């Protein structure tokens, strides 16, 4: 796919992943372009980031709608008006109905702060620490009706270290989120990621084949 793959982003907050995508698309050969940022919450920092980058924004407050379907219909109408090809969820804090997810099947991606399928839902870092895992991380995946499921595009493993708190771990994971989201979006936009039997098959990408060990003596 060419540079003109049109991306719509849905956010609810600070928009640091949005910022990572804005920064990535500054590269002339980045295969996607953000054409709209939609927030369901007014006045969030993510909207300011988009405006500063010259990207059109829209605020569609879920509270203004009687139900999820009508809220999503408004989002869908905006995305269609902008001729969006791919929708990225980036800290969008509303559960989407099956109807919306099916309508955007294969063109809707999300970032989650854990190594899925572990730690779906909220408070991922607290739960990783409580389980004592030596690695956690983040995942970019295609969205399916079941929450925080769906074919995985890119993951980054992040070590958990002695003395980590949810905040220190979240910060370490977030740094990697900002690496893998632009990477995953580029793969999807460039048609390098295809879903076959519920799993993503990648072509023309590099795979690391070393094992990771944490801790090491």
Q: Give the active site residues.
A: 112
Rounded-to-integer distance, Cα 86 and Cα 174, Å: 22
Task: Dig out the tokens for 209 from the structure.
Answer: 């084949």
- Nearer to ligand GRF by Cβ, of 60 and 111: the residue is 111
User: Is there binding between residue 13 and ligand GRF (CB under 6 A)?
Assistant: yes
Please state, as a whole number, how many other Cβ atoms lie within 10 Å of the Cβ of residue 80.
Answer: 11
User: Is there binding between residue 14 and ligand GRF (CB under 6 A)?
Assistant: yes
The answer to whether 37 and 11 have CB atoms below 8 angstroms apart is yes
Looking at residues 96 to 125 of the shown chain, list those that interact with ligand GRF (rule: CB under 6 A).
111-113
Helical (H) or strand (E) element with 6: strand 5-11
- Helix residue ranges per DSSP H, the chain: 16-24, 45-52, 68-81, 98-103, 124-131, 166-189
Minimum distance of ligand GRF from residue 85's CB (angstroms): 21
Minimum distance of ligand GRF from residue 66's CB (angstroms): 26
**Binding ligand GRF by CB under 6 A: which of 60, 90, 154, 158?**
90
Looking at residues 36 to 75 of the shown chain, list those that interact with ligand GRF (rule: CB under 6 A).
46
Summarize as ranges the residues that interact with ligand GRF (CB under 6 A): 13-17, 46, 90-91, 111-113, 174, 177
């Amino acid at each position: 796919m060419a540079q003109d793959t049109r991306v719509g982003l849905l956010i609810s907050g600070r928009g640091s992943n949005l910022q990572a995508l804005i920064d990535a698309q500054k590269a002339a050969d980045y295969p996607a372009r953000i054409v709209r940022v939609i927030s369901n919450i007014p006045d969030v920092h993510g909207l300011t980031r988009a405006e500063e980058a010259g990207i059109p924004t829209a605020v569609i407050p879920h509270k203004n709608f009687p139900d999820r379907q009508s809220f999503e219909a408004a989002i869908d109408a905006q995305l269609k008006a902008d001729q969006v090809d791919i929708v990225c969820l980036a800290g969008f804090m509303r559960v989407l109905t099956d109807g919306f997810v099916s309508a955007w099947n294969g063109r809707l991606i999300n970032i989650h702060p854990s190594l899925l399928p572990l730690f779906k839902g909220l408070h991922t870092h607290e739960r990783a620490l409580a389980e004592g895992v030596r690695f956690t991380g983040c995942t970019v995946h295609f969205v399916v009706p079941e929450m925080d499921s769906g074919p995985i595009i890119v993951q980054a493993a992040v070590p958990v270290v002695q003395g980590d708190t949810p905040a220190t771990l979240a910060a370490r994971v977030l740094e990697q989120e900002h690496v893998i989201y632009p990477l995953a979006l580029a793969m999807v936009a460039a048609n390098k990621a295809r879903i076959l039997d519920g799993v993503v098959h990648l072509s023309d990408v590099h795979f690391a084949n070393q094992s990771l060990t944490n801790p090491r003596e």
